[in-house]
Structure 1
Amino acid sequence: MVSSAVLFVFTLSSVCGLAVAERKLAYVTVLFRHGDRSPIKAYPTDPYRESDWPQGFEQLSQEGMRQHLDLGKFLRSRYKGFLNDSYIRHEVLVRSTDYDRTLMSAEANLAGLYPPSGRQIFTLDLKWQPIPVHTVPPNEERLLSYPLKDCPRYTQLMNETRHTEEFANVTAAYKDFLELVRNKTGLNKTDVESVWSVYDTLFCESRHNKTAPEWVTPDVMGKLQFLNAFAFQVIFGLYKQQEKSRLQGGILLGEIVKNLTKMAAPDPKQQLKLMMLSAHDTTVVALQASLNVFNGLQPPYAACHIIELYREDNGSASVSMFYRNDSAKDPYPLQLPGCALDCPLEDFVRITKPSISDDRDKECQLHLKGFMKVLIITVSVVICLLILIACVCCFRKCCCRKLNQEGGD
């Protein structure tokens, strides 16, 4: 009896082990936010100027460099045995927005991912090797920089968002606070959508041990943090999230899905294993909103969204997603709504399809239905007014004629 039980356990273990072995990692996409940086700008009464920052505004700090060096080391550890120990140019493709902080983040990340060894060490006193990072000019960026502002329909959606009850409630609730911020900062305008810049400046200054003005209390920072997070909801969600995604983050999602589908088919000539995308917090939110997995919080520095493609021996493929938003913890799994954690590729494609536009340029045009309705009503009113005016004129003419006849009699 005992031997039979042992045999059963051994058999079950063998089968389970075989099942695990059959699922093999085939391709990985990582999208991350740049590391710690200096503020984007200062507000008028800010005690700190651009000269107070080592490289000026919008630049990656040494802490940001360390964050991405550590993320690169984490990726090296996670994909040991999948990626080659030394850099092979056909295995990895790196794309970045054309900003100093994202380009430098990618480079620091690669320093951790591919420290040179053996023949790749080109000078003994430097444990680093150059690895290409590709980019396009900001005015040509359509994949990694959001929100894109080339879409009239999205502009219309944003105007409609501002008329939602939730937007109105938050605006009313923070009216006095926004006025306080305006007075203290010297800004001409502070509203729900623009006050993030004040939070950003104060947050950066606090991380670099710069003394905050007296008016910046923990309560003030808490309210600014809430409004900062709410601004992300306004841009990518809150109202008609899926349509916003089709015009924004769905562009990136569509590219990722296309690559997943392509890489699912085994091809001996295909050597690419890792797509690395270096971008911004808005990029991470745009993608996560299009996947409907955004947690409502601003992605921290070096936050990393991971998408892994696995192939099965039977020819099928599946997708797993993870989010690393805390360097002290392992990334946690993200579950696509309506699918398993290990989501079959065909289901992943089907579920994400409504967030991906087949013709964004066409969808960006303003909806004619509403325009035609307004036009028809306007034309109808004008015609009615013209008829009314004509009737009044005829009536007056008839009255005048009758009076003239009576006068003649």
Structure 2
Amino acid sequence: MVSATVLLLLAVGSLCGNAAAERKLVYVTVLFRHGDRSPVKAYPTDPYQESAWPQGFGQLSQEGMRQHLNLGQFLRTRYKGFLNETYERHEISVRSTDYDRTLMSAEANLAGLYPPRGQQVFSPTLQWQPIPVHTVPQSEEKLLSYPRFDCPRYKQLMNETEHTAEFLNVTNEFKDVIELVRNKTGLNNTNVETVWSVYDTLFCESRHNKTAPDWVTPEVFERLRLLKDFAFRIAFGVYKPQEKNRLQGGVLLGEIVKNLSKMSVPDPKVKERLKLMMLSAHDTTVAALQSSLNVFNGRQPPYASCQIIELYEDENSNFSVSLFFRNDSTVEAYPLLLPGCSLDCPLEEFVRITKLSISEDRDKECEVPSEGRDTEVIISLAVSGCLLLFLILLLLGVICWRQEPNRNRGYHHVINQEVGEES
């Protein structure tokens, strides 16, 4: 009986292996968090202020550079035979948020993915080549920074979240450590949502071998970590998660789904096809996207963690999507199962399932009085008012003109009947 079961499993595995072999990789999106960095800020009583860090606050460390060099080498190995051995500008597009640490992470990653070879070596002593990384000013970033607070409805949802039983229970459970942070750090405003910044600072300091204050015991540090993870969960879940996703990570998911659909019907006129979209961002970006896919594990994504979305085509021209997550450089990326679908999710099903997390009109769902729409209304009213005033004045002018005596209607020709000439 056991032998028969084993044979059956082997047969199924063989069939699955053959089915997988028939699929051809078509397009990949990778979203990753930047690498190891210095703290974004220090709390008032922190002995390690900005001068304690070589490049100041929020900057990529050399360890962070190595993490992304490693990730780039991983991507080079994973996509060997899919991506060109040397950099080909049509194959890859790279976008980053406008922060030093994300821009530098993308550059370090590309150094591992595309080490120069042959004619691309422009300096024999430098195993690196420049590859473009695109960005927009942070004030204009609407795709890669989350949570976005330009949404009144989202702010209302967060306010309502604070009144849920889960939020109140966590606040009560951790009130002692929240009070401890308030007393020891010099911060006046400490709560479940803001205390994460203290943990982040302490975490960065611990990774860089800086001595923690006496009050930061292993137990306190662990409790702060739990609060940090809870802050991620409430930002994108806990209360009305699907609506939060539509207003947050669903924006990025919508762009990714649009690109997947576009790549499934390639333009035969375009010979140089885009194969890899690389996005360099933050832990909150990864969490927002994973939440919109309903695959977020509730933990802060670690440095250089990478969400991978692959589009495949089989021999019958059917397309499917596979999700993978790499959150540890010592192991391979592991598959993620989109709820309601298989690991090799048919593209049509992927689009159908994710549609619930994608807003067709975010401004409307956010209940934002669009400045553009307001301006259009004002301009339309102004133009209509001016036109109406002009018509009224014109009408009054015609009425007055008709009521005037003939002699006052202005100059007109008089015919001299005697000589038949004008005078």
Name the residue aligned to 1:329: 331
The CA deviation at 1:14 is: 10
The CA deviation at 1:267 is: 3.5
Q: Deviations over 1:244-267 (max 9, x none)?
A: 000000000000000000001244
The CA deviation at 1:22 is: 2.7
What does 1:392-407 correspond to in 2, within 5 Å?
Answer: none
C-alpha distance 127-362 of structure 1, shift in aligned 2 (>3 A): same
Q: Deviations over 1:374-403 (max 9, x none)?
A: xxxxxxxxxxxxxxxxxxxxxxxxxxxxxx
Name the residue aligned to 1:297: 299
Amino acid at match of 1:360: R
Name the residue aligned to 1:175: 175
Name the residue aligned to 2:97: 97
SS in 2 for 1:252: helix
Q: Percent identity?
A: 75
C-alpha distance 50-88 of structure 1, shift in aligned 2 (>3 A): same
Q: Counterparts of 1:95 and 1:152 in 2: how far apart (Å)? A: 28
Matched, 1:358 2:368: no
SS in 1 for 2:95: strand
Q: Counterparts of 1:17 and 1:186 in 2: how far apart (Å)? A: 59
Name the residue aligned to 2:240: 240
SS in 1 for 2:48: coil
Name the residue aligned to 2:77: 77
Q: Counterparts of 2:17 and 2:247 in 1: how far apart (Å)? A: 44
What does 1:337-352 correspond to in 2, within 5 Å?
Answer: 337-352=339-354
Q: Deviations over 1:157-213 (max 9, x none)?
A: 011101100001111111122111110111111100000000000000000000111
C-alpha distance 36-13 of structure 1, shift in aligned 2 (>3 A): closer
C-alpha distance 18-214 of structure 1, shift in aligned 2 (>3 A): closer
Name the residue aligned to 1:219: 219
Name the residue aligned to 1:228: 228
C-alpha distance 168-92 of structure 1, shift in aligned 2 (>3 A): same
What does 1:107-118 correspond to in 2, within 5 Å?
Answer: 107-118=107-118
The structure that has the greater radius of gyration is 2
Q: Counterparts of 1:315 and 1:125 in 2: how far apart (Å)? A: 46
Q: Deviations over 1:197-244 (max 9, x none)?
A: 000000000000001111110000000000000000111100000000
Aligned length: 357
The CA deviation at 1:314 is: 1.1
The CA deviation at 1:134 is: 0.2
Amino acid at match of 2:139: N
Q: TM-score, normalised by structure 1?
A: 0.85
Amino acid at match of 2:209: N
Q: Counterparts of 1:364 and 1:53 in 2: how far apart (Å)? A: 40
Q: CA RMSD in A?
A: 1.7
C-alpha distance 213-15 of structure 1, shift in aligned 2 (>3 A): closer
SS in 2 for 1:333: strand
Runs of 5+ unmatched residues, structure 1:
1-11, 368-409
Name the residue aligned to 1:389: none
Amino acid at match of 1:361: D
The CA deviation at 1:310 is: 0.1
What does 1:4-403 correspond to in 2, within 5 Å?
Answer: 19-268=19-268, 269=270, 270-365=272-367
Q: Counterparts of 1:94 and 1:16 in 2: how far apart (Å)? A: 34
Moved over 3 A (4+): 12-21
SS in 1 for 2:26: strand
SS in 2 for 1:90: coil
Amino acid at match of 2:159: N
Q: Counterparts of 2:331 and 2:318 in 1: how far apart (Å)? A: 31
The CA deviation at 1:322 is: 0.3
Amino acid at match of 1:201: T
SS in 2 for 1:226: helix
Q: TM-score, normalised by structure 2?
A: 0.82
Amino acid at match of 2:305: A
Runs of 5+ unmatched residues, structure 2:
1-11, 370-423
Amino acid at match of 1:128: W
